[in-house]
Structure 1
Amino acid sequence: MTNKDKNLVSEIAILDETSNTPEEHKHDSAGFLGSNTELLFSLICGVFLVVGFVVERFFSQLPMWLPLGCYIAAYFFGGYFTLQDAIEKLKQNRFEIDTLMLVAAIGAAILGSWAEGALLLFLFSLGHALEHYAMGRAKRSIEALAKLAPATAEVRRNDEIAVISVKELEVGDVVIVKPNARLPADGFLIQGSTSVNQAPVTGESIPVDKRPVDDPNQARTRPDSIDNSSRVYAGTINGGGAIEIEVTRKSNDSALARVVKMVSEAETRRSPTQRFTDKFERIFVPIVLLLAFILLFGWVIIDEPFRDSFYRSMAVLVAASPCALAIATPSAVLSGIARAARSGVLIKGGAPLEELGSLNAMAFDKTGTLTEGKPQITDAIVIDADNEEELLAVAVAVESLSDHPLAVAISRDGRAKLSGVQIAIAEDLQNQVGRGVTAKLGGQRAWIGKAEMFGSDGVPSLSAPAAAAIEKLRSSGRTSMFVRLGNRDLGAIGLLDTARPGASQALKELRSLGIQRMIMISGDNQRVAEAIATEVGLDEAWGDLMPSDKVEAIRRLREQGKVAMVGDGVNDAPAMANSTVGVAMGAVGSDVALETADVALMADDLRNLPFAVGLSRHTRGIIRQNVFVSLGVVAFLVPATILGLGIGPAVAIHEGSTLLVVFNALRLLAYKDNFQL
Structure 2
Amino acid sequence: MEKLKLDLPVLLPEIPDLKDQCVSRLTGTLEGREGIFRVHVKSEENPPQLCIHFDPDVITLHRIKSIAEQTGAQLHDKFGHLLVEVVGNRHARHARSITRMLNELEGVVDAFAGSSGWIRMEFDKSKTTIKDLIISLQDMGLSIKPASLKHRNEEGETLLKKESKSLDRSQKMNNDIEKPPAKNEENHEESEAKHEDDSHEHDQDHAHEDEESHDHTHAHGGIFGEKTELIFSLICGSLLGIGFGLSYVSTVPGWVSLALYVSSYFFGGFYLVQEAYTEVKAGNFEIDFLMLVAAIGAAILGEWAEGALLLFLFSLGHSLEHYAMGRARDAIKGLSDLAPKTALRKKDGTTEEVPVEELQVGDVIVIKPNSKISADGVVINGESSVNQAPITGESVPVDKMEYDDPESIDEDADSIDDKHRVFAGTINGNGSLEVKVTKLSKDSTLSRLIKLVNEAEAQKSPTQQFTDKFEKYFVPSVLVLVVILNFAFLVIDESFSASFYRAMAVLVAASPCALAISTPSAVLSGVGRAARGGVLIKGGRPLENLGILKALAFDKTGTLTEGEPRLTDVITFGDTEENELLKVAVAVESLSDHPLADAVVRDGKEKLGETDFPEAEDLESITGRGVKAKLNSSTVHIGNTELFEEADGIKLSDDLKQKVEDLEGEGKTTMIVRQGDRYLGMLGLMDTPREDAKEVIQKLRDMGLTHLIMLTGDNQRVADAVAKEIGIDDPKGNLLPEDKVEAVKKLREEEGDVAMVGDGVNDAPAMANSTVGIAMGAAGSDVALETADVALMADKISVLPFAIGLSRKTKSIIKQNLWISLGMVALLVPATIFGLSMGWAVIGHEGSTVIVVFNALRLLAYKS
In structure 2, how many angstroms separate the alpha carbons of the residues matched to 1:150 and 1:389? 46
8 Å CA contact 1:189, 1:245 repeated in 2: yes
* Residue aligning to 1:106: 296
* Residue aligning to 2:854: 663
Percent of counterpart pairs with the same letter? 57
Amino acid at match of 2:826: A
Deviation at residue 410 of structure 1 after TM alignment: 9.4
Secondary structure of the residue that 2:842 maps to in structure 1? helix
8 Å CA contact 1:395, 1:411 repeated in 2: no
Q: Using CA pairs under 8 Å that are at least 6 residues apart, name the structure with larger relative contact order, 1 or 2.
A: 1
In structure 2, how many angstroms separate the alpha carbons of the residues matched to 1:166 and 1:332? 34
Give the count of matched residue pairs: 615
* Residue aligning to 2:92: 5
In structure 1, how many angstroms separate the alpha carbons of the residues matched to 2:646 and 2:849? 74
In structure 2, how many angstroms separate the alpha carbons of the residues matched to 1:406 and 1:261? 40
| 2:151 matches 1:17 | no
* Residue aligning to 1:501: 691
| 2:834 matches 1:643 | yes
In structure 2, how many angstroms separate the alpha carbons of the residues matched to 1:605 and 1:12? 31
In structure 2, how many angstroms separate the alpha carbons of the residues matched to 1:390 and 1:507? 39
Secondary structure of the residue that 2:418 maps to in structure 1? coil
Secondary structure of the residue that 1:592 maps to in structure 2? helix
In structure 1, how many angstroms separate the alpha carbons of the residues matched to 2:831 and 2:459? 37
The partner residue of 2:484 within 294, 300, 303 is 294
8 Å CA contact 2:530, 2:803 repeated in 1: yes
8 Å CA contact 2:460, 2:539 repeated in 1: yes
* Residue aligning to 1:187: 377
Deviation at residue 207 of structure 1 after TM alignment: 0.6
* Residue aligning to 1:150: 340
8 Å CA contact 1:45, 1:74 repeated in 2: yes
Residues 465 and 627 of structure 1, relative CA distance in 2, 3 Å threshold: farther
* Residue aligning to 1:568: 759
| 2:544 matches 1:354 | yes
**Structure 2: gaps spanning 5 or more residues:** 1-88, 96-113, 121-144, 150-160, 166-210, 571-583, 606-610, 625-639, 672-681
Secondary structure of the residue that 2:91 maps to in structure 1? helix
Residues 408 and 518 of structure 1, relative CA distance in 2, 3 Å threshold: farther
8 Å CA contact 2:549, 2:755 repeated in 1: yes
Amino acid at match of 2:242: V
8 Å CA contact 1:184, 1:235 repeated in 2: yes
In structure 2, how many angstroms separate the alpha carbons of the residues matched to 1:284 and 1:421? 83
The partner residue of 1:270 within 448, 460, 463 is 460
Secondary structure of the residue that 1:609 maps to in structure 2? helix
8 Å CA contact 1:478, 1:496 repeated in 2: yes
Residues 284 and 423 of structure 1, relative CA distance in 2, 3 Å threshold: farther
Secondary structure of the residue that 2:328 maps to in structure 1? helix
Secondary structure of the residue that 1:535 maps to in structure 2? helix
8 Å CA contact 1:177, 1:243 repeated in 2: yes
User: Pairwise mapping of residues 177-256 of structure 1 onto structure 2 (< 5 A)?
Assistant: 177-256=367-446
Amino acid at match of 1:631: L
Secondary structure of the residue that 1:282 maps to in structure 2? helix
* Residue aligning to 2:75: none
8 Å CA contact 2:116, 2:329 repeated in 1: no
Amino acid at match of 2:794: A
8 Å CA contact 1:266, 1:350 repeated in 2: yes
Deviation at residue 472 of structure 1 after TM alignment: 8.7
User: Pairwise mapping of residues 274-673 of structure 1 onto structure 2 (< 5 A)?
Assistant: 274-376=464-566, 396=593, 474-478=664-668, 495-561=685-751, 562-673=753-864
Secondary structure of the residue that 2:689 maps to in structure 1? coil
In structure 2, how many angstroms separate the alpha carbons of the residues matched to 1:556 and 1:199? 37
Residues 390 and 243 of structure 1, relative CA distance in 2, 3 Å threshold: closer
Secondary structure of the residue that 1:559 maps to in structure 2? helix
Residues 278 and 591 of structure 1, relative CA distance in 2, 3 Å threshold: same
Superposed CA deviations along residues 441-463 of structure 1, whole A, max 9, x for unmatched, are xxxxxxxxxx9xxxxxxxxx999
In structure 2, how many angstroms separate the alpha carbons of the residues matched to 1:73 and 1:407? 85
Deviation at residue 638 of structure 1 after TM alignment: 0.5
In structure 1, how many angstroms separate the alpha carbons of the residues matched to 2:802 and 2:691? 16
> Which region of structure 1 is more displaced relative to structure 2, 407-416 or 236-245?
407-416
In structure 1, how many angstroms separate the alpha carbons of the residues matched to 2:666 and 2:310? 77
Amino acid at match of 1:11: G
Deviation at residue 423 of structure 1 after TM alignment: 8.8
* Residue aligning to 2:364: 174
Deviation at residue 84 of structure 1 after TM alignment: 2.0
Residues 300 and 188 of structure 1, relative CA distance in 2, 3 Å threshold: same
Deviation at residue 60 of structure 1 after TM alignment: 4.7
In structure 1, how many angstroms separate the alpha carbons of the residues matched to 2:484 and 2:614? 91
Deviation at residue 644 of structure 1 after TM alignment: 1.3
Residues 140 and 407 of structure 1, relative CA distance in 2, 3 Å threshold: farther
Residues 321 and 406 of structure 1, relative CA distance in 2, 3 Å threshold: farther
In structure 2, how many angstroms separate the alpha carbons of the residues matched to 1:13 and 1:186? 28
8 Å CA contact 1:193, 1:211 repeated in 2: yes
8 Å CA contact 1:12, 1:139 repeated in 2: no
In structure 2, how many angstroms separate the alpha carbons of the residues matched to 1:342 and 1:31? 33
In structure 2, how many angstroms separate the alpha carbons of the residues matched to 1:543 and 1:352? 28
Superposed CA deviations along residues 140-176 of structure 1, whole A, max 9, x for unmatched, are 1111111011111111123331111112211111111
Amino acid at match of 2:227: N
Secondary structure of the residue that 1:252 maps to in structure 2? helix
In structure 2, how many angstroms separate the alpha carbons of the residues matched to 1:626 and 1:418? 72
> Which region of structure 1 is more displaced relative to structure 2, 153-162 or 636-645?
153-162
In structure 2, how many angstroms separate the alpha carbons of the residues matched to 1:411 and 1:136? 56
Secondary structure of the residue that 2:366 maps to in structure 1? strand
Deviation at residue 90 of structure 1 after TM alignment: 2.3
Superposed CA deviations along residues 98-127 of structure 1, whole A, max 9, x for unmatched, are 111101111112222222211110010001
Secondary structure of the residue that 1:497 maps to in structure 2? strand
Residues 145 and 420 of structure 1, relative CA distance in 2, 3 Å threshold: farther
User: Pairwise mapping of residues 57-72 of structure 1 onto structure 2 (< 5 A)?
Assistant: 57-58=248-249, 60-62=251-253, 64=255, 66-72=256-262
What RMSD, in angstroms, separates the aligned Cα atoms of the two structures? 3.4
The partner residue of 1:82 within 272, 277, 289 is 272
The partner residue of 1:123 within 303, 310, 313 is 313
Superposed CA deviations along residues 208-229 of structure 1, whole A, max 9, x for unmatched, are 1111112212222111111111
Q: TM-score, normalised by structure 1?
A: 0.84
Amino acid at match of 1:18: S
Residues 311 and 475 of structure 1, relative CA distance in 2, 3 Å threshold: same
> Which region of structure 1 is more displaced relative to structure 2, 387-396 or 661-670?
387-396
Residues 421 and 571 of structure 1, relative CA distance in 2, 3 Å threshold: farther
| 2:320 matches 1:93 | no
Amino acid at match of 2:563: G
Residues 77 and 156 of structure 1, relative CA distance in 2, 3 Å threshold: same
In structure 2, how many angstroms separate the alpha carbons of the residues matched to 1:84 and 1:410? 74
Residues 270 and 327 of structure 1, relative CA distance in 2, 3 Å threshold: same
Deviation at residue 666 of structure 1 after TM alignment: 0.8
Deviation at residue 392 of structure 1 after TM alignment: 6.7
Amino acid at match of 2:341: A
**Structure 1: gaps spanning 5 or more residues:** 381-386, 400-404, 426-435, 437-450, 452-460, 482-491
In structure 1, how many angstroms separate the alpha carbons of the residues matched to 2:520 and 2:332? 14
Secondary structure of the residue that 2:230 maps to in structure 1? helix
> Which region of structure 1 is more displaced relative to structure 2, 23-32 or 125-134?
23-32
Deviation at residue 178 of structure 1 after TM alignment: 1.0
The partner residue of 1:134 within 324, 334, 353 is 324
Amino acid at match of 1:314: M
Secondary structure of the residue that 1:175 maps to in structure 2? strand
> Which region of structure 1 is more displaced relative to structure 2, 40-49 or 27-36?
27-36
Deviation at residue 307 of structure 1 after TM alignment: 1.3
8 Å CA contact 2:526, 2:859 repeated in 1: yes
8 Å CA contact 2:723, 2:729 repeated in 1: yes
